[in-house]
Structure 1
Amino acid sequence: MKVFLACLVTLGTFLTETTFAQVQCAVDVQINEGDAITMCETSPTTISGTNGFVNYAWTGPETQVSQTITPNFSGQYVLSALDGTGCVSTDTIIVTIVSIPTETIISSEGNPICSGAGTTLSLPNSYTTYNWTGGVTTPTFFASGPGTYDVTYADDNGCSGSSSITLTEAQFTLTGSESSLCTGGAITLTASGGTSYVWSTGETSSTIVVNPSNTTLYSVVISSGSCSQTLSTTVEPGEQQTSSLPDTLYVGAGDAQYVAGPEGFQSYVWSPTDQINNPFGSGVTFIGTTSQTLVVEATHADGCVITDSVVMIVVDLTIPNGFSPNSDGKNDLFRIPELDQYPGALSVWNRWGDLVLDDPSYKNTWDGTCQTSACLGSGDLPQGTYFYQVDVEGITFTGYITLKR
C-alpha cells in the first residue's frame, strides 16, 4: 500500500505531517478480523491489527491509540500503524453492531389466565433459536398454569436476549357490605378480579348498591380477557335505622321526665337546652314549666345522621274550686280550660264516697248532674262539696269543688 511519508510524523491521538512523500511500506498493517464484522451489542468483539508496528491509532465512530479496540458503535473503523522506519500504513473494517430488543412475552389467553386453563406463550419477533423453561426449543411454549416462565432467544448472528413472564390465575370475587344505617340497610355489592362487569340489574360498574323490598338474587358476569365467570348472591331486605322517640310525652309542671335518644349512635345533640340537664347525652332529663318540641340529632360512627323530635307537653291545669249549674248562662259547667288542648279523664265523688261522674274523655261538659247509677231522683246533684280526680296521660290532679245552685 502506498502511503505518504512525512519528515515529521507523530502518531497518537492525532497525526501531524509537515512534508510528504509517496512511499511503499515494507509491510502494511492489516486488521485481523477482515474488512467487515458483525457483533452483538451485549457481547462486543475486540478487533486488532497485526503485530510488528511501533504505534497504532484507530479512527472512525470512536478513536483509540492501541493495537486493539472494542467497538461500541457501528460504522467504518480505520487503523493506522507506524513501523520502525517511520512508514505509516492503514486498513479499514466495517463494524455492524446488532442489538436485540427485550421482548415482551405474549400470552394467547391474556394475563391473568383462566382458572384451570393454560395459555400459549410466544414472542412478537422471530429468532433462530429458543430455549424456554424446561428446555423447550420451539418458537412457542404451552404454559399449563400460573407461574413464572423464561425464554432465551438468539438470531442468526448468535446475538441473544432473554425475557420472563409471571402468569397469574384470574380470581373473581363477589362480596357484600352493609351501607350506612341511614340508607335503610342498603347493601353494597362489589365484584373484583375482572376488567368488565355486567350485573343482573343492567349496571356495568364493579360496585352497585341495592336495597330490595323482597329477598332478591343478584348476579354478575365478571370478565378478564378470555376468562369469564358468573357469581351470584342473595340479598335480604334491610331495615332502616330509625329513632325510638315517641311523638308526644306528657309531664307535670316541674316534674322530671327522662327521654332516651336512638340507640347505637356515637354522639348526640339535643335542643333547645333551657329545660334539659345535658344536651350531649344519649338521653336527657326534661324538667320544665313550658311545653316545647325537643329535637335530637344523633350521629353514627359511619357518618350517618338522624334527626328526630318529641313534643313535650307540660300539664299544668287551671281547675276551678266551684261552679253554679243554675242555667243562668254563667259558670254553669265545670270547665278546665287546658282539657280543650289535650285529653283528660274526670271522676267525681260526693261526700259519702259515691261516684257521681266517671268520664274517661272529659270535654268540659259536666253540668252538675249525676251520671252514674248511684244517684236517685231527677239527676240534679244537691249543693255541696264534691271530691274530684283529673287524669291526663297518667298525671293525676285531685281536690274539692263546691257545687252551688
Structure 2
Amino acid sequence: MKYKIFLLFIFSILYQIVFTQTIIPTDTVCIQGENGYSVSAPQSNSTYTWGLNQSGGTILPTSRNDSIRIRWNDDPGIDTLWVFETNSGGCSSNKGILRIVKRPLPSVSLPKERLCSGDTLFGNPVGEAPFTVYYTFNGNKKDQKQLPDYPFITGTESGTYILDSISDKYCTGYPSGITQAVILPPLPGLTIETLFPGDSLFIGDTLICIARTPGANSTLHWTAKGDHILSDIPGSIHQIYVIWKQEGVYPLTVLEMNQEGCQGEIARKMIKIFSKNNPKEPNPEPDEKLYIPNIISPNTDGINEVFHIKGINNESYHLSIYNRWGQLVYEGNPYSNDWKGTDKKGHRLSPGVYYYILHHIDTDKIHKGTLHLFR
C-alpha cells in the first residue's frame, strides 16, 4: 500500500517558510512485509529526507527521493515515519509524520498429527478476526472462512490435511507447529451378543456377553445399569460376566476405543431381569423331547464320548460351540450328534467350560447352555 504525504509552503514577504501537512495519521502494516510511501506533488528542485524513529524497518531508496519503500522487521509494535523537504534555497519544512502500527502475522496449527474422525482440525488462531485458512486436503486446494468466531474444520472425511497459510483482518501468515495431519477412518460398529442364557434371565443368573467386530488393538469399556456385578472374563477384553440383583429392564452398553484414542459408536442392548417368583419366565421352556447334556468326556471309557443330544433325530439343527473367550471352536450344520471335543480342524480342545447354541433352522428356536469338557 502506498501513502502520499502532502507538503504545503506559504511564502511571506520575508520569504520565511511556514509548513503545514495533511497526512493519513495511521498506517497498519505487517511485520516482514514491504510498503511504499511518497510525497504528493513533490517540488522538482526540492530534496526529501525520510526516517523512522524506532528503526522498525529498513528504508529502501528509490530512483526519486520523494518516495521510498520500507521493509519491516520481525518485531510488532508502534513506529513513526517522518519526512521533511528542503528547497533549492536551503529552507526546510516541518516534519510530516505518519504513525505506523506493525501487526504480527497470524498463525494456526493442527492439534496433532493423527486425528480421529470428527475431531476439530484447527482453531484458536493467533491474529485479528476475521480469518481465512488455506489448506490442502488429499491434494486439493481449499479454504475455510471464519465460522463464526474462528476458523475450524471437523474431520469428517478421512485423509491428509496440510495447512498452507492463514489470513486475518490485516496480514497473511503461515502455519506454526504441526502443519500436516491424517484423519483416521471411523471405527466399525460394534454389536453385543448374549452367549448365555439370552436377553432375558432371572435375578442372580450369570449373563455372558461378547462384543462382535472390535478392532484388533481396541479397548472396550462396558457399562451395565442397575444393581449388578460386572467383571471381565480373564484373558478377554471382548467378553464379560454380568449378574443383576434386582428385577427390571437394564441397558448394557460397550464403547470401543483404539490405540489412537478414537472412540466408536456405543453399542447397546436391553436386558430383562425377572424374579424367580414371577410366573413369566425369560425364555420359553426347552422342548420336552430334547435332552441336552452338560458334560462330555471323550476319554475312550465309553461314557459321554460325544455330545449326544437326544431328540434331534434327523431334524435340521445348527450347533455352535464357543470357548470361554467367546471364540467359535466348533460348528455343525446340520449337527449329527458327532462332536467329540475337537475344534474345527479336528484338534483336541483343552478341558474346561464351553458354551453351546443350538438353533432349529426350521422354527428358528434357540437353546443355549454351558458344557463341561473333561478328559
Structures share fold, TM-score greater than 0.5: no
> Please, what TM-score do these two structures have when normalized by structure 1?
0.39
> Please, what TM-score do these two structures have when normalized by structure 2?
0.41
RCO comparison, higher one (Cα < 8 Å, 6+): 2
Give the number of the structure whose alpha-carbon radius of gyration is greater: 1
